[in-house]
Amino acid sequence: MATTDFRVIGTRPIRHDGTDKVTGRAKYGGDTAAADLLYAKILRSPHAHARIVSIDTSKAAAHPGVKGVITGMDLPELGPGTIEVGETPSVNAMQMSTNVMARTKVLYKGHAVAAVVATSVHIAEEALAAIEVQYEVLPHVMDVRESMKDEAPLLLDGQTTTSLGKDTGKKSNIATHTVFEIGDTSKGFAEADLVVENEFTTSPTHQGYIEPQSAMVFWNSDDEITIWTSNQGPFGVRTNTALLLNVPLSSIKVIPLEIGGGFGGKIPVYLEPVAALLSKMSGHPVKMTLTRTEVLEATGPTPGSYMKAKIGVKNDGTIVAGEAYLAFAAGAFPGSAVGAGAMCMFTPYDVENLHIDAYDVLVNKPKVSAYRAPGAPQAAYAVESVIDEICGKLGMDRIEFRMKNAAKQGTRQVTGVPLGSVGNVEMLEAVKNSDHYNAPLGGPNRGRGVASGFWFNAGMQSSATLQVNPDGTVAQVTGSVDIGGTRVATAMQAAEVLGLEAHDVKPVVADTNSIGYTAVTGGSRTAFATGWATYQAANDIVKQMKERAAKLWETDASDVEFDEGTFTRASNSEQEFTFKGLAARLMETGGPVVGKATVTPPGVGAGFGHHIVDVEVDPETGKVDVVRYTAFQDVGKAIHPSYVEGQIQGGAVQGIGWALNEEYYYNDSGVMANSSFLDYRMPTSLDLPMIDTVLIEVPNPGHPYGARGVGEVPLVPGLAALGNAVTNAIGTRMNQLPMKPGKILSALGEIDN
C-alpha cells in the first residue's frame, strides 16, 4: 500500500489526554483516594543474602494506628504454574510470590520481609521499626562470573542447571544454558582472513520511570477485590494477583490509572497482592507507593552481563562466522532476557555460521525485569563493538561494511527463522547519505561512533469496541494503557477508516470488566495490535451502517458503498449520507451501532535502528559530552510522527545514560550505595543536545497502514554507538559500561582504576 495517501495517519493531532496531563488533572497511580483509606509500607531486608530465623511482629501490631501486619507466611503456598512477566521468560509462580515477599530466606538487600498497614504512612513507617527480624547472614555473590563457579554460595534450594533443554541435576546458580546455532562456525572461522574477539561487561541499569509503583486495593466483604494501579498491563495484574492470592480470576477487577513510565519495569506485580491482604485484614482500602530507594533496590532492573563476541571476516568485509558467549545476571530468581539478546545480536547481518552460548545466572540482586528490548542492548554492545574494531582494521567504511552484510527480507536469523519485510538496507542508505554521517567532527578530543540494532516486536491480543454517537462522533474503548500516545495513535486508525478527524474519536482506557482481554502496553505492540483492533472495530461499524443506509434507501447492503466518510448508493450515486448524517438516523433504523473486534494479529513488523553519535572527551576530567546525535529507524509507517520521534529520542537518551553513567554501585556488603536519583545518575536536560531522528518508512505489509512497533528498538544501538564514539575519541577500545570519568581516565593512562 502507498504510505502517503492517508488523511489522518501521518498527521500530528494533539493527543486526547493531553489537556488533562498538562493541567495536572490526569489521575496516576498515586493520585487515588478513598474514604477511610489506610496506608501500607514494606519492611525490607538489610542483607544481601540471609536466612530468616524469626520475625516478631507483635510490637508493630500493637502500635497505635496500626490496623494489620503480614509476613510472607500470609501469602498462599502455590502449586506449579508460571506467570507471564512481559518480554522476559515466564516465571515460576511460587518464585514470583517469594519475590513479592520472602519466606525463609532473603536474597537481596531490599527483599520484602513484612508489611504494615496504618492510618497514616508515617505511622506505618514507625511501626516497621518495631518489627523484629532475626537473620542468619549468609555469604553473598554479586558478580555473574563469580556466581557461575562451583564454590559460589547458592541462592535457591533446589535450583539446578537446565542445559540445552535438559535438567542436569547439578545444583548451581546457573539456571539455564541455551545454545543458538546455525551453520558450522569452525568451518566459517577457518575461512576468515581476520578474526576479532573481545569481552565486555555491563552493569544492571534501571528503567528509571519517574513515577514509582503505586496501587490502591480494596478487598470488600463479599470477596470482590478492586485494584487501582498504574501498571503496563491491567489484565496481567488481574492474572498475576489472582494467582499469587489463590483467588478466582473473576473476583478481581483492575482499574488502570494513567502511568508515569514503564519501559517493561511496570509489568510485574510487587504491591497489589500485599495491599490486597492488608485490605482484607483491616477491612479498609489500602494504598501503597514505593519510595525511589525501594524502586531501585527492589523492582527489577535489566541484567548486568559478562559477554564475549568473536567475528570472522574476509578481507573484502564479508562476515563468515560469529560466535558469542552471554552470561546475564538474572538476580534472585531465574528469568533474564539472555535468550532474546542472543536472538537479536547478529540479526542486522546475513551470516551463515553462528554459535551463541547463553547463560541465565542467579546473583544476590533484585530479580530483573524487562527493560525496552530486554537483553538486546547488552548483546548488541558486544557485536557492534567488535564490528567497529573490524572496520577499523580493514580500513572499511562502517556503513559500507554493514551494507555488504545487510540482513534483508528472507535472511535467516540465528534461530533459523527468516526475516519478513524489513527496512534495514533502506535505513543504511539513509545513514550513508545523511548530513551527520558526512559532517566533519569539528573539534579536538572528539570521536564519532555508529551502531545498528534490532528488535522483533510483538503482536499478541487486543480488543476494541467503538460506539457511534448520534452526533457522528465515536467512542473508542480499548484495554491499552496510554504511556506514550497510544490513545491518539489508535484513535487515528479508527478515524482513518471512518473518514472522521482524530478528535471525532473519543478514546477511553477501560477496566478489566469493561473490555476484552488485552495484552500489555509493551513489546512495541500497541499501535500495531490495538491499532488493528480499532481498525477492525471501525470496519465492523461501517458494515453495520451500510445495512442502516440500505434500510433508509430500501435497498440491500450490497448496494451501499463507503469511501472517505461517505455512504453512497452504488446504483444511484445521487443518494448519499455522510457518516455524521447517517449517525443521526441510527436510533430510528434499529438502535445504536457498536463495532467490536478482538485480534491476535500476525504480520508483526520487526524493526531496525542505527545511531550516529559524536562525543567530546575532556582529557583532564574524563567527562564525555554528547555533542551530536542522530537516530535512524525503520518505523514502517509513523501513525503519529511526533510520538514516534518521541519514542526514538527517549530510548536514545536512556542509552546515553546507560553507556556513560548509570550503574548499580554495590558496596562490599552487597548493598546498593547509589539508590537515589542523586547518585543513580540519569541524563538531565543539561547533559544533552537535541536528538535528531530520521524516520524510514518501509511499510509493514502486516498492518493496514504499514506500522511497525517502534518503542523498543531505540534503546538497542546506543550503548555500542557511544562505546565506539569514545573509543574513536581516545584511541582505546572501551569494553566496560558505564564509561564514567574514572574509567576514561584509566583508559587514557592518567590514573589506575
* Interacting residues with another protein between 238 and 267 (CB under 8 A): 239, 249, 258-263
Segment near another protein (CB under 8 A); pick from 49-57, 111-119, 196-204, 595-603: 595-603
Give the CA distances from residue 358 to residues 188, 327, 483, in Å, rounded to whole numbers and listed in that order.
20, 6, 32
CB of 581 to another protein, least distance (A): 31
- Give the x/- contact pattern for another protein in 404-423, rule: CB under 8 A: -----------xxxxxx---
- Stretch 504-543: interaction string toward another protein, x if CB under 8 A: -------------x-x---x--------------------
Q: How far is the CB of 580 from another protein (least distance, A)?
A: 26
Q: Which of 270, 264, 212 is nearest to 241 (CA)?
A: 270
**Sign of the dihedral defined by the CA atoms of residues 125, 129, 131, 134, in that order:** positive
Please report how close the Cβ of residue 111 comes to another protein at its closest, in angstroms.
21
Residue from 526, 505, 520, 519 nearest 595 by CA: 505
For the window 300-339, what string marks contact with another protein as x by the rule CB under 8 A?
A: -------------------------------------x-x
Binders in 604-643 for another protein, by CB under 8 A: 604, 640, 642-643
The single residue among 649, 661, 724, 727 that binds another protein, judged by CB under 8 A, is 649
Note whether 455 and 376 are within 8 A (CB): yes
Q: Which of 399, 652, 695, 726 binds another protein (CB under 8 A)?
A: 652
Neighbours of 27 (CB within 10 A): 14
Nearer to another protein, 431 or 483 (CB): 483
Of the residues 58, 90, 433, 753, which one makes contact with another protein according to CB under 8 A: 90
- Write down the least CB distance from residue 112 to another protein, Å: 19
Do the Cβ atoms of 114 and 131 come closer than 8 Å? Answer: yes
Q: Which is nearer to another protein, 316 or 435 (CB)?
A: 435
Please provide the distance, in angstroms rounded to a whole number, between the alpha carbons at the two ends of the chain: 56
Ranges assigned E (strand) in 26-130: 38-44, 50-56, 66-71, 82-83, 91-92, 105-106, 112-118
Give me the least distance between CB of 116 and another protein, in Å please. 17
- Say which residues have a Cβ less than 8 Å from residue 500's Cβ, sequence separation at least 6: 8, 472, 473, 474, 494, 565, 579
H/E element holding 610? strand 607-617
Tell me if 245 sits within 8 A of 76, measured CB to CB: yes
Query: Could you tell me which residues are beta bridge partners of residue 227?
Result: 217, 254
Cβ closest to another protein, residue 455 vs residue 577 = 455
Q: How far apart are CA 40 and CA 56, in angstroms?
A: 18
Q: How far is the CB of 44 from another protein (least distance, A)?
A: 16
Please state the three-class secondary structure of 517-569 as a single string.
CCCCCCCCCHHHHHHHHHHHHHHHHHHHHHHHHHHHHCCCHHHEEEECCEEEE
Number of amino acids touching another protein (CB under 8 A):
99
Nearer to another protein, 218 or 562 (CB): 218
- Per CB under 8 A, the segment of 286-294, 389-397, 440-448, 469-477 that binds another protein is 286-294
Residue from 2, 4, 5, 23 binding another protein (CB under 8 A):
23
Is 525 buried (19+), middle (13-18) or exposed (0-12) by CB count in 10 A?
A: buried
Q: Residue 197 Cβ, how far from another protein at the closest point, in Å?
A: 21
Stretch in the footprint of another protein (CB under 8 A) among 2-10, 482-490, 728-736, 744-752 = 482-490
Our CB check for another protein shows the closer of 383 and 631 to be: 631
CB nearer to another protein: give 3 or 642. 642
Of 72 and 609, nearer to another protein (C-beta) is 609
Give the residue, chosen from 438, 686, 731, 749, that forms a contact with another protein under the rule CB under 8 A: 686
List strands edge to edge, sheet with 566-569: 560-563, 566-569, 572-578
Q: 312 with 319: CB under 8 angstroms?
A: yes
Nearest of 523, 585, 443, 436 to residue 710 by alpha carbon: 523
Mark the segment that binds another protein (CB under 8 A) among 384-392, 645-653, 725-733, 744-752.
645-653
User: For residues 456 and 567, which CB has a smaller minimum distance to another protein in the complex?
Assistant: 456
Q: CB of 168: closest distance to another protein in angstroms?
A: 13
User: Hey, which residues between 337 and 396 contact another protein (CB under 8 A)?
Assistant: 337, 339-340, 343
- Under the binding rule (CB under 8 A), the answer on residue 65 touching another protein is no
Backbone angles phi, psi at 535, to 5 degrees: -60, -45
Cβ atoms < 10 Å from Cβ of 192: 19
Of 32, 97, 80, the closest CA to residue 270 belongs to 97
- Euclidean distance between CA atoms 619 and 635, whole angstroms: 38
As given in the structure block, the three cell numbers for residue 533 are 483492533
Comparing CB distances to another protein, the nearer of 211 and 496 is 211
Nearer to another protein, 49 or 238 (CB): 238
Question: Of the two residues 653 and 747, which places its CB atom closer to another protein in the complex?
Answer: 653
Residue from 231, 493, 654, 727 that binds another protein (CB under 8 A)?
Answer: 654
Is the link from the previous residue into 76 a cis peptide, with omega within 30 of 0? no
- Best CA proximity match to 533, nearest among 343, 703, 354: 703
Nearer to another protein, 327 or 730 (CB): 327
Q: Which is nearer to another protein, 654 or 724 (CB)?
A: 654
Provide the CA 41 distance to its chain's centre, in angstroms.
27
Looking at the Cβ atoms of 16 and 280, the one nearer to another protein is 16
Per-residue binding string, another protein, 657-676, x by CB under 8 A, is -------------------x
Residues from 98 through 127 that contact another protein (CB under 8 A) = 122
Q: How far is the CB of 479 from another protein (least distance, A)?
A: 11
Residues within window 24-63 making contact with another protein, judged by CB under 8 A: 24-28, 30-31, 33
Q: Rule CB under 8 A: which of 693-752 touch another protein?
A: none
- Work out which of 40, 55, 85, 275 binds another protein, going by CB under 8 A: 85
> How, if at all, do strands 462-468 and 594-599 pair?
antiparallel
Q: Considering Cα of 126, then 129, then 132, then 135, what sign does the dihedral take?
A: positive
Site for another protein in 193-222 (CB under 8 A): 207-212
Smallest distance, another protein to C-beta of residue 489, A:
12
Position among 10, 72, 87, 615 found at the interface with another protein (CB under 8 A): 87
CB 634 within 8 A of CB 423: yes
**Cα–Cα dist 336/353, whole Å:** 25
- Determine the interface stretch with another protein among 82-90, 383-391, 571-579, 734-742 (rule: CB under 8 A): 82-90
